[in-house]
Structure 1
Amino acid sequence: MSFSGWEYIWTAVMPLAVLLYYFFRKKYKDQRVSSTLFWQEMMKEIRASPYLKKLQHHLLLYLQLAALLLCVFALLGPHLDSETLEGNEFIFVVDTSATMLAGTPTGFEQQQELMKSLTGQTGGKPVTIITTGASPEIVIRKERDAEILNKAIDRLAVSYENAEIEQSLLFAETLVDDESTVIHVFTDALDRKLLANKVGQVYEVHGIEQQLRNISMRQFGLSETADGMRAIVQVVNETDEEVSAEVVLSGGDIEKTAAIVLPANEEQLVPFEKLPSEPLWQATLDVEDDYSEDNTMAAFTQQASSGIAVDSSLHELIGAGFRSLNIEVKGMEPGQLAKAGPIPIVTNQTDMLKNDAPVLLIGRNDEKNHPVAGQIETVPHALFTYGSLDDVYVSAVYPPFENFETLASIDGEPLIQLSPEGDIVVLTDIQLTDWPLSPSFPLFLWSAASELSGTDNFLGIFQPNEQRSVALTSTNREWEIYKGGEYLYSYIEGQGPFTAPQEPGIYDVAGEAPLKMIVQLSNDEKTLASGTSYQLGQAEATAETVDFSIVPWLILVVLIVVLMEWEVYRRGIAPR
């Protein structure tokens, strides 16, 4: 302990003055003596120890002396000395992935307490806090006030998405001003190899060394069989001991349970046969472990196909457009398209409209085109949510189909139609337009593939906070997201890509037609790892000390003593 106000030591005479005042003040008291014979005896007793008796009967004096002494001590400026963190500036990289929720208390809560402890040792040096993820975010920038930093740390929350530590560290390095900046990484585990090539930068990694138990559900799938639906659940035991668990499968009002025994460090497939036809199923793993976020998964019966069959006689830019969207393209001869299966088909053969497979018809092989001129006009539809056709030039179109809904027209004639079965018809050839030169061309192909391969009531499976373009359209251009009947937020069409909720679960998307959406963890967030704390590099800043004043605590004690003094005084003057 040190003192910063030795010039106030002279105030120590004040308690001494109060004490002397009590010693030598005159105090008169009426005393009845029954006989002068006892007078001398009484005086002897009083004079025997006058000062001691006064002190024994004056609790008020003790409290006053204590308050004065504490005030004198506070004026001296007592404080505790502690070394500051190494470095002149600090960047806190905080892992907000789902695995940080493992343990009790959770790893994230432990790291929050550690961060608040370290902010008290910065000595007023600037601190920047960023969170991890696909898009690292700056929470606070070069803040020196410890109170503001602690409030920002308390507001941090787990985002459930992949940590993307390497990408987050590259982002943190762009914020480094000089070599004296130290990057503190708060995570559960970080391999040293990831930092091996980062020369010239100082890293302080704070890992969680606690060994945790985890039994996770890795995969959950549904398929149709001749005897009904079939579900398979993959369960993995990451512990070194045998574990008993239950897998509960629920869909609608149906619930089935399977008891399993998992050997140490093994995985097991749990099948469920002859299930009734329900569109949405949820599997839950009932087991005692330290990480519950990976114990639930959901699956939709009808999921979108990832592939598409393209007629090889069409212009090659059509296949190239689908490939640019990372859609698997199967080039097939016109006579083989009927054998493509349930995946969407892109062709100009009108006979394919009679098949069960969804069709994107571009042009017609049974009619001749005729010239047109003018600007394309569209109606509100998901096909045009992300791509406008205003600047597209079309020189000729084919005759339209009767009883098909017209979605786009040019010069008063249908250009894009929608069949009653949901097939999409483009009444022109690609080579008769400049459409492939427009950014709207691949966007239209993506929207068409989504419309043909998707379902009417399922939006898809997303990872937490995943941003994805979705083909949604409504008259008011707004979709509301609900979970368990509780409204969360709204998505406005055209205002950037759709962002999935951050917490895993089943969501309702309310618009013109209600949709279901599933958000669940990636497999990377279903494996726990214990790490260590270590430092790489040496900061140039010399070690300094930071003072922690104890004056506020002394003031609190003085107030308590004053309250006690008042109570003693009040009792002393109270009538008996």
Structure 2
Amino acid sequence: MGIQSWLSLWFGLTLPAIVLMYMFKRKYVDTTVPSHLLWERVLRNLEANRPWQKLQNRLLLWLQLLAAALMVFALMQPFMQVSGGGSAHVVIVADTSGSMSAQMQPSAEGGAATRLEWMQQRIKEYVKDRGRRSEITLLSVGASPMTLVSHESDRAAIDKAVDGLRPYYGQASYRETLSLASALTREEHDAEVVIFTDSYWKPDTAPIAFQVPVSVEKVQGELPHNVSIDQFGISPKGNADSSYAAVAVLSTNAEASVSAEVNLYGDEQLLTSRMLELEPGKRLTESFSDLPFAEVYRLELSQDDGYAADNHSFAFGLGHGSSRVLLLTSGNLFLEKALQLSGAEVTRVSLDESKDKTAENNGSTNKEAGKSSEAADVPPVPEGEFDLLVIDGDVPEGFRQGKWAELTAKTPLWTIGGEGAKIGNQGGRAVLAKHPVTAYVNLSGVYFGTLVDQAPAWGEPVIKLGDQPIVYAGSENGRPRLSFNFLLQDSDLPLSPEFPVMVSNALEWMTSGKGSGLGRYMAGAQADIPIAADTVAAKWIPKSGLAQADGHPAAEALRNEQGISPVQLVPEYPGLYAFEQQNEAGEKLNHWLAVTADPYEADWSNDQGPAVSQAATNAGESEAGAGSGTSGSNETTNRAGSLMPWLAALALAVIAAEWGVYQRGRSI
């Protein structure tokens, strides 16, 4: 039994008031007088009796006290706790935030491995024992409130929905889910809300108001031991060819010093392993030096603890610092040095223009023999993969076929000069469009001589001299393309201090689409992904960390009306993912992305529970709803209805009995 309005206990002051009335009541004695002349003297004697009297055992007094007590008890709005006789509609809020994935101690009930699994058992027991005559609505706390079942009476469907609960490691929608539960029960008279949680909720100064009874079921157990990797980063010690350094920050919630072994991997190759001593309440900063370059670094705790979501952390090497550039040129020292200063690894292939000019002047009549001789003079394609192909000047015919043609088709291409009729410069001020290639430059005072008259269909002009386009940028077959409609030898641009900046811009823009690390994102957050124009399919593939350990499946990428959306929701499981893009030819391009859990979910110092309040009709349970609940027990508050009608009927019966006594004219 419970009380909903303890404030009504003040009406209990009517009981001593009734007693005082009987103590001050005058006592009249039947007197026989021989004559009405003596009546006046008898009245004077009666008025002189004592005001304070000893209470006597009077039936009328006890009936009045009982009636007053019943009325006061009814005003306190009592209710009964009845097993299996719950409300007609029960809204169950299941806390599926990241902290619910914490491991339970061996002493936990039912042998459940995690808080979430224990919560699933508790919900099933509640539905079976106390909600068997109720309609169930099940809500889960995720990125947004999720309604798994609504007004469901089929116990098999409810159990299936409960079994499908999974932890969400991003920023959980605590307040939004409670608001939805309140809205679903606002207009209902026979409903209640039950919140299953570990009580580690983010502080909320504005409680959610409920119009129905609300209770909290704690699913917590003993506090598990946890060691977390709070931060992890990689930085080069010097230029792109030097070693790398790493810094990690670790902490623990243990009450005493603990040892933790950490392993550092580079592209899944073990680089170093260390045993660290962690002090309670302190963060440990550990440095790693002389590390070789790797595309992906992974720091992991070698032993399992109570919370696996923060046992791995990832960092990425600087992709642009290791870009491989293949430069085809007859000799351009300024261009080659500018590419190297931008951090590129340049492989130069010389174009012998003298042979082309000699063959053109001789006017050879044997064209087939000329082609054979030219093909024989073409150097082989260098081994390895290249991120950018730069062609400085006219391209000989031999470079337009065979493996050179295949390389040109699949590699971002930057041409300088190129084919087309030579035209004069009409003059004018340089006009720059907003583009990554033109960032931080203005080309003021730069001279341009002879230009090439060509307008490629794959791009738009990003630099003009007056109305004359001189630089085009765009993409062809999903590959970035850049064209300078002038030779560097016919301009003083290489002598300008803006030339290295422009080369660096071009290198960064044209190599940004290669597989590289996109950084860290919290689970469920939005990420901007560079999508190639010819991409027809894309998906998220777990490669390492908790996502791979738990067997998280690959997920298809989001689409919009144009195809694969460049704005993607990152997966909800922490770990390392490859965003794999595939074009019609079957070629694949990967981008690495690390997904982390909300760090708040590993902080178990704030055991405050959900912030809820109730209207006046249910004010008596506001404290219980605010997080007191029950811990480690299966007892819940389940109301079968108010006792006020029964108490009112009993009070009326007592008043009727009191009236009968009064009618008889005696109170004894």
Aligned to 1:157: 166
Aligned to 2:179: 170
Match of 2:194 among 162, 176, 184: 184
Aligned to 2:154: 145
Q: Could you report, residue by residue, the CA deviation over 1:171-198 in whole angstroms, capped at 9, with x for unpaired residues? A: 3333234254323222222459637633
Hey, what's the Cα distance between the residues in 2 that align with 1:135 and 1:476? Answer: 30
TM-score, normalized by length of structure 1? 0.54
**1:479 and 2:538 equivalent?**
yes
Q: Could you report, residue by residue, the CA deviation over 1:543-566 in whole angstroms, capped at 9, with x for unpaired residues? A: 339xxxxxxxxxxxxxxxxxxxxx
Q: Could you report, residue by residue, the CA deviation over 1:455-485 in whole angstroms, capped at 9, with x for unpaired residues? A: 7322332222323343313414321322249
Match of 1:197 among 189, 203, 207: 207
CA contact (8 A) 1:209 1:530 kept: no
**1:466 and 2:466 equivalent?**
no
Q: Could you report, residue by residue, the CA deviation over 1:260-309 in whole angstroms, capped at 9, with x for unpaired residues? A: 111122110011011111121000023453112211111112389xxxxx
Whichever residue aligns with residue 194 of structure 2, its letter is H
Q: Could you report, residue by residue, the CA deviation over 1:381-410 in whole angstroms, capped at 9, with x for unpaired residues? A: 9xxxxxxx9xxxxxx9853335x44459xx
Matches within 5 A, 1:380-419: 398-402=467-471, 404-407=472-475, 419=482
Displacement of 1:97 in angstroms is 2.0
CA change 1:301–1:143 in 2 (3 A) is same
Match of 1:521 among 597, 621, 633: 597
SS of the residue 2:181 aligns to: helix
Whichever residue aligns with residue 271 of structure 1, its letter is S
Hey, what's the Cα distance between the residues in 1 that align with 2:311 and 2:226? Answer: 9
SS of the residue 2:639 aligns to: coil
Aligned to 1:551: none
Moved more, 209-218 or 511-520: 511-520
CA change 1:240–1:142 in 2 (3 A) is same
Whichever residue aligns with residue 482 of structure 2, its letter is S
**1:263 and 2:279 equivalent?**
yes
CA change 1:217–1:358 in 2 (3 A) is farther
Match of 2:228 among 208, 212, 216: 216
**1:301 and 2:331 equivalent?**
no
Q: Could you report, residue by residue, the CA deviation over 1:500-539 in whole angstroms, capped at 9, with x for unpaired residues? A: 2222211222225222222122322332357477996487
Q: Could you report, residue by residue, the CA deviation over 1:425-478 in whole angstroms, capped at 9, with x for unpaired residues? A: xxxxxxxxxxxxxxxxxxxxxxx9x96895732233222232334331341432
SS of the residue 1:148 aligns to: helix
Displacement of 1:359 in angstroms is 4.3
Aligned to 2:384: none
Matches within 5 A, 1:113-512: 113-120=121-128, 121-178=130-187, 180=189, 181-190=191-200, 194=204, 197-201=207-211, 202-207=213-218, 208-226=220-238, 228-252=243-267, 253-287=269-303, 289-302=305-318, 359-360=438-439, 398-402=467-471, 404-407=472-475, 419=482, 456-458=514-516, 459-484=518-543, 488-491=554-557, 493-494=559-560, 497-511=567-581, 512=588
Whichever residue aligns with residue 185 of structure 2, its letter is V
Hey, what's the Cα distance between the residues in 1 that align with 2:578 and 2:483? Answer: 26
TM-score, normalized by length of structure 2? 0.47
Hey, what's the Cα distance between the residues in 2 that align with 1:245 and 1:293? Answer: 16
Q: Could you report, residue by residue, the CA deviation over 1:9-44 in whole angstroms, capped at 9, with x for unpaired residues? A: xxxxxxxxxxxxxxxxxxxxxxxxxxxxxxxxxxxx
Hey, what's the Cα distance between the residues in 2 that align with 1:259 and 1:466? Answer: 34
SS of the residue 1:194 aligns to: coil
CA change 1:498–1:85 in 2 (3 A) is farther
SS of the residue 2:264 aligns to: strand
Hey, what's the Cα distance between the residues in 2 that align with 1:295 and 1:122? Answer: 39
How many residues get paired? 366
CA change 1:244–1:406 in 2 (3 A) is closer
CA contact (8 A) 1:212 1:528 kept: no
Hey, what's the Cα distance between the residues in 2 that align with 1:158 and 1:110? Answer: 13
CA change 1:542–1:99 in 2 (3 A) is closer
Q: Could you report, residue by residue, the CA deviation over 1:61-93 in whole angstroms, capped at 9, with x for unpaired residues? A: xxxxxxxxxxxxxxxxxxxx9624654422222
Hey, what's the Cα distance between the residues in 1 that align with 2:431 and 2:592? Answer: 34
Matches within 5 A, 1:21-170: 83-84=83-84, 87-104=87-104, 105-120=113-128, 121-170=130-179
SS of the residue 2:91 aligns to: strand
Whichever residue aligns with residue 217 of structure 2, its letter is H
Displacement of 1:170 in angstroms is 2.2
CA contact (8 A) 1:303 1:460 kept: no
CA change 1:87–1:513 in 2 (3 A) is same
Whichever residue aligns with residue 91 of structure 2, its letter is I
Larger Rg: 2
Hey, what's the Cα distance between the residues in 2 that align with 1:400 and 1:264? Answer: 66
CA change 1:542–1:204 in 2 (3 A) is closer
Displacement of 1:236 in angstroms is 0.7
Hey, what's the Cα distance between the residues in 1 that align with 2:173 and 2:139? Answer: 13
Hey, what's the Cα distance between the residues in 1 that align with 2:123 and 2:265? Answer: 42
SS of the residue 1:174 aligns to: helix
Displacement of 1:168 in angstroms is 2.2
Displacement of 1:123 in angstroms is 3.6
Q: Aligned-residue CA RMSD in angstroms? A: 4.4
CA change 1:190–1:406 in 2 (3 A) is closer
CA contact (8 A) 1:204 1:536 kept: no
SS of the residue 2:593 aligns to: strand
CA contact (8 A) 2:437 2:509 kept: no
**1:543 and 2:639 equivalent?**
yes
CA change 1:361–1:264 in 2 (3 A) is closer
CA change 1:112–1:170 in 2 (3 A) is same
Hey, what's the Cα distance between the residues in 2 that align with 1:132 and 1:162? Answer: 10
CA change 1:531–1:277 in 2 (3 A) is same
CA contact (8 A) 1:364 1:398 kept: no
CA contact (8 A) 1:238 1:266 kept: no
